[in-house]
Amino acid sequence: MGAEHKITGILQLIAVSVVILYILTDGTIPRNIALIAVAFFIVKGIGFTFMKQNLLSLSDTIAGIYLLLPVLGIFSNTILNIIFIGWLIQKGIIYLFR
C-alpha cells in the first residue's frame, strides 16, 4: 500500500488539473489531452471497481462520464463541475497521503 497509491494520487491530481484548466480557459489545453484525462477517470473507475470489488471506485467513472460532457461542449453546470472536480481532488489527495 505504498508507491502505487502515491502514483495513483499524483496521476489523479494531474488529470483533474488538466480538466480544470481546459474548462476554465475554454480550450487553451488541447481537447485531446483533456479527453485523455477524462478517459483516465473512466478507465480507472471501471478497473478499480472490478479489481477491488469496491463500488466507491465507480464514482470515478461517474465523474469521468460527467466531465466528458463539458470537455466535449455538450453540457456544463458550474455547481456540478465543482462537485465532481472537488470529489476527484479529495480522492487524489487521499490516495497521495494514504
Alpha helices in the chain (DSSP H): 3-24, 31-52, 58-72, 78-96
Q: Tell me, yes or no, if the pTM score tops 0.85.
A: yes
The mean pLDDT value for 65-82 works out to 95
Question: Domain range for residue 27?
Answer: 3-96
pLDDT higher at 98 or 10: 10
Domain count, the chain: 1
Q: Is the pLDDT of residue 27 over 80?
A: no
What pLDDT sits at residue 98?
A: 80
Q: By C-alpha distance, which of 49, 51, 50, 52 is closest to 63?
A: 49
* Spatial contact of 8 and 94, defined as CB atoms under 8 Å apart: no
What pLDDT sits at residue 38?
A: 97
45 alpha-carbon distance from chain centroid = 9
